[in-house]
Structure 1
Amino acid sequence: MKYKTLACIYILLLTIISIDAQTNTGNFEKILQKNSNEIKLKTTKATVIVELCTPSIIRVRTSWNHTFLDNENWMVSNYNWHNVPHKLTETDTSIKIHTEHLKVEINKTPFSIQFFDKDNTLLSSETNKGQNYGGFKNESKVGSTKHLKANEHFFGFGERMDFLDRRGKKVELNVGRGLGRPHITGAYNVLEANYSPIPFFMSTAGYGLFFHTAYPTTWNMGADSNNRYSFYADGGELDYYFIYGPTFSNILDGYTSLTGKSPLLPKFALGLHVGTYSGGTWGHEKHTSTDYVVNLAKKFRALEIPLDILHLDSTWRIFGKSGGKGATTFEWRNTFDNPDQMFSDLYDLNLNMVGLHLRPRFDNGKTLNLLDQAREKGHVYPEENSLGEFVNFFDEKAVDWWWKNGVKTIADQGAMFLKTDEGSAFGRKANESNKVGPQGEGVKALHNLFPIAYAKAPYEKFQEYNGIRGMNHTREGYAGIQRYPFIFAGDWPSEWQYFEPVIKAGLNIGLSGVGNWAHCMGGFEHIADPELYIRWCQFGLLSPIAHLFGMEHPNYKEPWSYGDEALQIFKQYDRLRYSLIPYLYSHSYQMYTTGIPLMRALVIPYQNDVNVYSITDQYMLGESLMICPVTQKGAKTRVVYLPEGQWTDYWTGKIYEGKKHYNVLSPIDQMPIFVKEGAIIPTQVPVNYVGEKPIDHLTLDVYPTASSTFSLYNDDGKSLKYQKGDFNITAITLQVAEENIKLDIEMPKGDFKSEEKTYTAKFHLKEQPDHVKINNKKYHINETEQVSFKDGILSVSPEISNKEVISIIII
């Protein structure tokens, strides 16, 4: 008993010491300055700036030394805001700031901040039942503690493989994979994987919070308390944006208005991407060749497997004298006889883009001593005990030199993009060596920014050089990485245990403002069993970016390596993907304008349905398609949850009522897919590559169980003209009433002059209707090829193009 008492006293003393070491903001003293959108306040211990960015976004900055950092442009891309109309009132106890959508109430003693919506509903508070929280500083750490509501749940935090709902969890955010060997408890640790952490969350209470810092952060979302949550950074200042929704869609729009929207990729980037080790991987480099690469593309074409993009991974180049596998020489391995001809042959096979893998360190090769030259010119980031090896991507002159002397040499040969690997190695142990790169306090704030600078450089350089939209393929990221798409989930083995965590990664990164995302379908390392390969590829081909790549030797992840069944199912889903390109491209434009990702955790559209908070193996692809991957070996059925509304089984046409769980069949060739009520899904005839032939006819799959609209987007598919308004949108409206169903297809509106299109509308119905009117002309069912009914589908093919309005009424 004596020792227990002493232990309790010791813990109490530690707590008191900890509290004493932590400095809060004190009490309000005075308003220092008011100008347009900014209010500067002095407290007894700090200076606080409240900035009104929009009526729904408030920036709060706190400095205990009364100075503030300059605005940076790596994470946040927008600091220029229009004047926000607001009203400020001050009383003896508080300061209140009203905008159109928010009310900010600042309590003077002690200083604390509350956020309310316009109806005076409390959204977020720094006080609760006499407890005062708010901003704090503890040595170099800066952070804030806020009240945790009873029914509040949190989503976001970047590409996490561990959990979806973060309530009651603690998480540390700092770019990098798990460390340690064996890999199964080190690099393959789903709890530690942090390829693209993002210090941002969305709360079901109707707000989001973006912690604007590049330092490592720690978030305690109620792990040790039901009344409070907290977050802090290992340095810098306390700087966060409060973003009001109340919907997750509005919050994502707000967050990406700060950190940037995802630009449109070239349209062909929605096609299949394939990576290759060119015939040999680690230890088998001698097997690489140009012939292997060209023959690989030929085989995809011969088997009529649609393909648009190819990249050559790390074995295309020799490993250098200093960095080995972890650095880049820009010199081809001697097994590649004629790289120029290889690129020419690949483009003759109608690949739309071919790219190369590299790492961020310079290295000396046999003839190009780029590392020595870069060191001499000061274009590498200095390290404590060496002259440095990392390209200084934070310096424009270094980037220009890297491009001119390294990347442009391969661009001139035919490479059109890069796969920028090992972005986490700056200031941290690398995958392919024991090197850690630059160290020190200054690097701590740059480590998380490095992946952004690393992706930005080739994205912009190739965009200018190619004269079309940029594309960069990268593994690591941080807040703002969505501006330089796309990102992939990293090196997860071909094991069933990693399949669902990768799905979780896609959901979490989408909840964090990054929509152009991919993964190595089939898994990256190890040989997959054919069933896992099929199931993973089904998911991969209905992911935002479809990326096929793995490092097993000699088969890799090519579909013909897994048997005839795997090959046929791969082709089936690849062709399904290509047929959905009009649907996917329209949603890509929606993502560009609103920040809503293509791959949507169910909590985005169904924020108030607690049943979806823990669903980590279902998602919406766009607005209308629910994708339900099968992640259990040998499963012939799986349980799905269908939210409110009516849902149609894509394969059978069976209609299900929502707000229920169902056990559905899932034969090996059928990943469960459900179509949302009112869906309008534009599809095209599958092609072998985007641009193979003009798409002059579209099919609209219509599920008329509810009224809806669809905006069909179109532009030239390659240029940046869309950013200046050179596009058009075709509005498609479905009206469902008791007496009839009406579908209106408007003429395209916008500056882009698109080719003439015709349409077939396929209405998925329970029973055959009486007749159909097309622009008021009456047609009886099955009396003409224009109007036919079979197996529950009414096909209507008006002999009218998009040069005039098309109106279809089903009676």
Structure 2
Amino acid sequence: LNSYTSITGKSPMLPQFALGLHAGTYSGGTWGYEDKTSDQYVVELAGKYRALGIPVDLLWLDSTWRLFGEKGGKGATSFEWRDTFKNPKGMFDSIYAMNYKMVGLHLRPRFDNAKKLNLLDQAQAKGFTYPENGKPGEFVNFFDDKATQWWWDNGVMRVAKLGAKFLKTDEGSAFGALANESEKVGPTGKEAERLHNLFPLAYAKAPFLEFEKLNGFRGLNQTREGYSGIQRYPYIFAGDWPSEWQYFAPVVKAGLNVGLSGVGSWAHCMGGFEHQADPELYIRWVQFGMFSPIALVFGMDHPGYKEPWNYGEQALQNFKKYDLLRYRLFPYLYSSMHQQYATGLPMMRALVLNHQDDENVYEIGDQYMFGDNFMVAPVTTKGAVTRSIYLPEGTWFNYYTGEKFAGKSYHHVVAPLDTIPLFVKAGSIIPMQPEMIYAGEKPVDVITLDVFPYADSKYDLYEDDNLSSTYKTGNFSMTKITSFLKDSQLTLNIAKPSGAFKPSNHRYLAKIHWNGRTAPKSVSENGNMLEKLKSVDSLDKAAGWYYDAKVNVIWIKSTGNNDRDLSLKVN
């Protein structure tokens, strides 16, 4: 993968906030209900996420924001707002005032004419559409720099100047093939066939790079199709899978396969896209979605639209629980994203990737590693409250309970409806940030280290400015964290960050899973004894340590911060 992506391109890092929730909407009216769309619906949707305390950072309006034109209908883009959108700029402004980071719009690669705009006629007159049967066609000619720039200046900038900050570039596969929404096939012939696979790349590349310049931070583009190299313009989503149990497990496998193909930044519609979702399916799919490289919720079922509050109270609480956990895991996910950029190793990894000599993993398509440490095992069977899993060589711990499991063996585990089975490698060190409902809501003044001690282990915490592209030229830092366990003595070393970037100051809160060992007698930091406190809540206000015997967890709050090397010792 490293060699392959060295040739076809590494997947660049997205802004850190893009690890948060991406929510799509038909603005209140999918196809057949277009009269119900409105900018007010979108503003109220954004507000409801905030009011319910559901973390989210990106929102996009799918196809019904725009008028379907005279020639291409649903399969083309007129760039003209529906009359039901009274104040698009006010809509964008209102959403950004709620601390959303990016609001985007869906489009398709054909130009079209509508009531007031005739961009198709203009583009054809200038020769900026790809020819069809010897005549001016309807597809923007993204292989022509001048045509691409005209599309940007006269089409995309109409919405970008109002507040749009990214696009969903849909249906690039319709170039030289049958479209989803019409009988049109677009350009034909040998040249069109040759360019068919390349068109989605050129289509995604244009807005990715242009918005990167316009926004002043790292690019982001959502697309449905791609080819070798699409990882350079993240991200790609899995397409319009129906909301039915039979399609759930294949989507998990699709994520593993696309990762093995060098595409790490990948998403899918939690709960499925088409049809009303069974609440149980919605719950299980959301659990998987929150442990996917990109977390995305979107559907076309009217009036549910996969909005978390439309599938029952249990579904809502499940959504919020795992979304909040995902936001806490930002430091871990962000470090994994940098690893993906540097090495080509995807965030979501088929077990065979790291265990190529273990024949037991060759056919496993419903479990995966998420970063270096997490083993995720979604429940994809209706009514199931248990499932069988395979743990590769080594020692593993249940993430929730700390229970120890032997590797290179099968296990049958309990998985009640509100629980996705999660395991971590022995020795795992998992960095976490404070709970937030949007990226940057609070300063990251304490980083929690969730430690599952076992022999000797290490973790490299990656940090940069979360936004700019200067990481490509070395403007980042690494914090080396090591754990050494011998009998009932543990040493946790946290080095001062090294590298060109200087992170903000933060202290550390170590959560050490101490299963099966004698209660600690003392804890020191850099040779100085720390005070034993009376409760874990006391650590909110003071440095020290506390041992929770009921759950066998040692909590240690450091006195020093990341401006120095720290050594925490448990005896």
Q: TM-score, normalised by structure 2?
A: 0.97
Match of 2:283 among 523, 530, 534: 534
Pair 1:419-2:168 in alignment: yes
Q: Equivalents in 2 of 1:322, 1:779: separation in Å?
A: 73
Q: Equivalents in 2 of 1:706, 1:354: separation in Å?
A: 46
1:708-736 residue CA offsets vs partner (Å, 9 max, x unmatched):
21111111111111112211111111223
Q: CA deviation at 1:560?
A: 0.5
Q: Equivalents in 1 of 2:436, 2:32: separation in Å?
A: 37
| Identity rate, percent | 59
Q: Equivalents in 2 of 1:599, 1:379: separation in Å?
A: 39
Q: Equivalents in 1 of 2:174, 2:148: separation in Å?
A: 18
Pair 1:807-2:556 in alignment: no
Q: CA deviation at 1:778?
A: 3.2
Q: Equivalents in 1 of 2:467, 2:400: separation in Å?
A: 34
Structure-1 residue corresponding to 2:95: 346
Q: CA deviation at 1:283?
A: 0.5
Q: Equivalents in 1 of 2:113, 2:156: separation in Å?
A: 15
Pair 1:682-2:462 in alignment: no
Match of 2:42 among 280, 286, 293: 293
Structure-2 residue corresponding to 1:305: 54
Match of 2:257 among 505, 508, 514: 508
SS at match of 2:18: helix
Residue pair 2:434, 2:442 contacting (<8 A) in 1 also: no
Structure-2 residue corresponding to 1:193: none
Pair 1:712-2:470 in alignment: no
1:400-434 residue CA offsets vs partner (Å, 9 max, x unmatched):
00000000110000000000000100000011111
Match of 1:320 among 54, 63, 69: 69
Residue pair 1:770, 1:781 contacting (<8 A) in 2 also: no
Match of 1:277 among 7, 26, 46: 26
Q: Which runs of 5+ in 1 are unaligned?
A: 1-251
1:240-289 residue CA offsets vs partner (Å, 9 max, x unmatched):
xxxxxxxxxxxx11111101111010110000000000000011000000
Structure-2 residue corresponding to 1:48: none
State the AA in 2 paired with 1:323: G
Q: Equivalents in 1 of 2:410, 2:320: separation in Å?
A: 31
Q: Equivalents in 1 of 2:27, 2:110: separation in Å?
A: 22
Pair 1:253-2:11 in alignment: no
Q: Equivalents in 1 of 2:402, 2:95: separation in Å?
A: 41
Q: Equivalents in 2 of 1:592, 1:765: separation in Å?
A: 34
State the AA in 2 paired with 1:795: W
Match of 1:629 among 371, 375, 378: 378
Pair 1:430-2:430 in alignment: no
Structure-2 residue corresponding to 1:737: 486
Residue pair 2:39, 2:87 contacting (<8 A) in 1 also: yes
State the AA in 2 paired with 1:411: A
Q: Equivalents in 1 of 2:49, 2:530: separation in Å?
A: 44
Q: Equivalents in 2 of 1:780, 1:409: separation in Å?
A: 61
Pair 1:787-2:538 in alignment: no
1:678-714 residue CA offsets vs partner (Å, 9 max, x unmatched):
1000001121110112111110001112322111111
Q: CA deviation at 1:779?
A: 4.4
1:214-249 residue CA offsets vs partner (Å, 9 max, x unmatched):
xxxxxxxxxxxxxxxxxxxxxxxxxxxxxxxxxxxx
Residue pair 1:320, 1:364 contacting (<8 A) in 2 also: yes
Q: CA deviation at 1:386?
A: 4.0
State the AA in 1 paired with 2:200: P
Residue pair 2:57, 2:101 contacting (<8 A) in 1 also: yes
Q: Relative CO higher for 1 or 2, CA cutoff 8 Å, sep ≥ 6?
A: 2
Q: Equivalents in 2 of 1:787, 1:281: separation in Å?
A: 54
Q: Equivalents in 2 of 1:548, 1:605: separation in Å?
A: 30
Within 5 Å, give how 1:697-708 maps onto structure 2: 697-708=446-457
Q: Which runs of 5+ in 2 are unaligned?
A: none
Which deviates more, 710-719 or 480-489?
Answer: 710-719
Q: CA deviation at 1:297?
A: 0.5
Q: CA deviation at 1:320?
A: 0.3
Residue pair 1:357, 1:419 contacting (<8 A) in 2 also: yes
State the AA in 2 paired with 1:787: W
Which deviates more, 635-644 or 732-741?
Answer: 732-741
Q: Equivalents in 2 of 1:649, 1:740: separation in Å?
A: 22
Structure-2 residue corresponding to 1:583: 332
SS at match of 1:445: helix
Structure in which a larger fraction of residues adopt strand = 1
Q: Equivalents in 2 of 1:688, 1:315: separation in Å?
A: 28
Structure in which a larger fraction of residues adopt helix = 2
Structure-2 residue corresponding to 1:558: 307
Match of 1:796 among 550, 556, 559: 556
Q: Equivalents in 2 of 1:616, 1:387: separation in Å?
A: 46
Residue pair 1:583, 1:682 contacting (<8 A) in 2 also: yes
Q: CA deviation at 1:783?
A: 7.1
Residue pair 1:639, 1:664 contacting (<8 A) in 2 also: yes
Q: Equivalents in 2 of 1:385, 1:392: separation in Å?
A: 14
Within 5 Å, give how 1:128-147 maps onto structure 2: none
Structure-2 residue corresponding to 1:264: 13
Q: Equivalents in 2 of 1:494, 1:465: separation in Å?
A: 37
Q: Equivalents in 2 of 1:566, 1:801: separation in Å?
A: 39
Q: CA deviation at 1:608?
A: 1.0
Q: CA deviation at 1:743?
A: 1.1
Structure-2 residue corresponding to 1:600: 349
Q: Equivalents in 2 of 1:396, 1:731: separation in Å?
A: 45
Q: Equivalents in 1 of 2:459, 2:402: separation in Å?
A: 21
Q: CA deviation at 1:650?
A: 1.3
State the AA in 2 paired with 1:775: N
Within 5 Å, give how 1:386-785 maps onto structure 2: 386-738=135-487, 740-766=489-515, 767=517, 768-779=519-530
Q: CA deviation at 1:438?
A: 0.5
Larger radius of gyration: 1
SS at match of 1:578: helix
1:541-585 residue CA offsets vs partner (Å, 9 max, x unmatched):
110000000001112101100011110111000001000000000
Residue pair 1:511, 1:601 contacting (<8 A) in 2 also: yes
Q: Equivalents in 1 of 2:505, 2:400: separation in Å?
A: 31
Residue pair 1:770, 1:780 contacting (<8 A) in 2 also: no
Which deviates more, 481-490 or 437-446?
Answer: 437-446
Residue pair 2:274, 2:300 contacting (<8 A) in 1 also: yes
Q: CA deviation at 1:741?
A: 2.0
Q: Equivalents in 2 of 1:424, 1:600: separation in Å?
A: 26
Q: CA deviation at 1:652?
A: 1.9
Q: TM-score, normalised by structure 1?
A: 0.68
Residue pair 2:389, 2:412 contacting (<8 A) in 1 also: yes
Residue pair 1:525, 1:552 contacting (<8 A) in 2 also: yes
Q: Equivalents in 2 of 1:523, 1:779: separation in Å?
A: 50
Structure-2 residue corresponding to 1:23: none
1:769-793 residue CA offsets vs partner (Å, 9 max, x unmatched):
3322211123475579511111211
Residue pair 2:27, 2:65 contacting (<8 A) in 1 also: yes
SS at match of 1:711: strand
1:591-647 residue CA offsets vs partner (Å, 9 max, x unmatched):
111110100111111111111111111011100011110000000100000111111
Residue pair 1:381, 1:389 contacting (<8 A) in 2 also: yes
Q: Equivalents in 2 of 1:783, 1:525: separation in Å?
A: 53
Q: CA deviation at 1:448?
A: 0.5
Structure-2 residue corresponding to 1:356: 105
